[in-house]
Amino acid sequence: MPKHIHFSANNVHNFMPADNLGETAMRRVVFNQKGGVGKSTITCNLAAISARKGKRTLVVDLDPQGNSTQYLLGGQAAGLENTLADFFEQSLTFRLDPKKTIEFAAPTPFERLSVLPSHPSLEELQGKLESRYKIYKLREALDEIAGDFDHVFIDTPPALNFFTRSALIAADACLIPFDCDEFSRNALYSLLANAEEIRADHNRDLQVEGIVVNQYQPRANLPQKVVQALIEEGLPVLQPFLSASVKIKESHEHARPMIHLDPRHKLTQEFIALYEGLGGKEKEGGVA
């Protein structure tokens, strides 16, 4: 089980662990304004485990860089006809016969795992979407397909922009990746305060499920010191920590999440334990 810790910093006191949230159509957003902290890696690996365990699972890739899309689709990501850019573009124009949200979901090579794929033109659409106040469109879309999926994992850009806010408004719970350095530690209170603002203004159901410690090196002094400081401050640090491993680069290269690349690897087992601790203890799909 993850280690849930209540915290009482003034700007984040309303957040509680998400143990009480239901599992049906559970929506989790992986959120951090800092780049390179492992958002896409965490999103795709948790989603792949969910699908492997028998859950109909959807990844929503809101980052114009499209790392989650590339990770799950590999070469198939090029030339997709329907992407999230097309979905949001459709919301800006009147159409007699608009496409349904499910039509934008692309199947991956992995059973029960689909992705709403990213596209670089998402970047260009931000201004138009913001000016037309389309901030609730993603939540409406996920409501529309709630019966088609059991779990939804949302990957976000490394910025608090239109797409990140849309994700926080659409989600039930928020996971914050943390890569064990002082810059990330200093940014945590700002991240939590931003999520709290979204909760207060737009999404009363949003809860911070916890901080996912990523690229952890237990023999190095600095990661141990920084993570221990988070725990002592009462921040909701989840366990297990995700180990630093070169295997993850191989996983990216082959477009195969760890559960499919190397099910018995230490990092794979850590992802499984993290997933199960988040309330995904179902044993369907035969993951050992």
Q: What is d(CA 93, CA 29) in angstroms, rounded to the nearest whole number?
A: 27
Residue 287 belongs to a domain: no
Please check the confidence at residue 14 and state whether its pLDDT lies above 60.
no
Residue 197 belongs to a domain: yes
**Cβ atoms of 63 and 43 closer than 8 Å:** no
Structure tokens given for 165: 């806010």
Residues 6+ apart with CB under 8 A from 97: none
Residue 286 belongs to a domain: no
pLDDT category at 63 given cuts 50, 70, 90 is very high
Q: What does each C-alpha distance from 277 to 16, 46, 55, 221, 240 come to in angstroms?
A: 16, 11, 16, 27, 9
* pLDDT of 1: 38
Please check the confidence at residue 9 and state whether its pLDDT lies above 50.
no
> pLDDT tens digit string along 231-278?
999 999 999 999 999 999 999 999 999 999 999 999 999 999 999 999
Residue 153 belongs to a domain: yes
* pLDDT of 280: 54
Q: Rounded mean pLDDT of 208-217?
A: 94
Q: Rounded mean pLDDT of 113-135?
A: 97
Residue 225 belongs to a domain: yes
Q: What does each C-alpha distance from 215 to 41, 134, 156, 180, 258 come to in angstroms?
A: 11, 36, 19, 7, 15
**Cβ atoms of 146 and 102 closer than 8 Å:** no
Residue 134 belongs to a domain: yes
> pLDDT tens digit string along 188-197?
888 999 999 9
Per the structure, how many domains does the chain have? 1
Position with higher pLDDT, 220 vs 27: 27
Range of the domain at 127: 10-277
Residue 283 belongs to a domain: no
pLDDT category at 286 given cuts 50, 70, 90 is very low
Residue 174 belongs to a domain: yes
* pLDDT of 5: 34
For the domain that residue 37 is a member of, what is the CATH number? 3.40.50.300
Q: Rounded mean pLDDT of 81-96?
A: 93
* pLDDT of 223: 85
Residue 167, judged by CB atoms within 10 A of its CB (0-12, 13-18, 19+), counts as buried
Residue type, 46: L
Please check the confidence at residue 28 and state whether its pLDDT lies above 70.
yes
What share of the chain in percent tops pLDDT 70?
89
Please check the confidence at residue 127 and state whether its pLDDT lies above 90.
yes
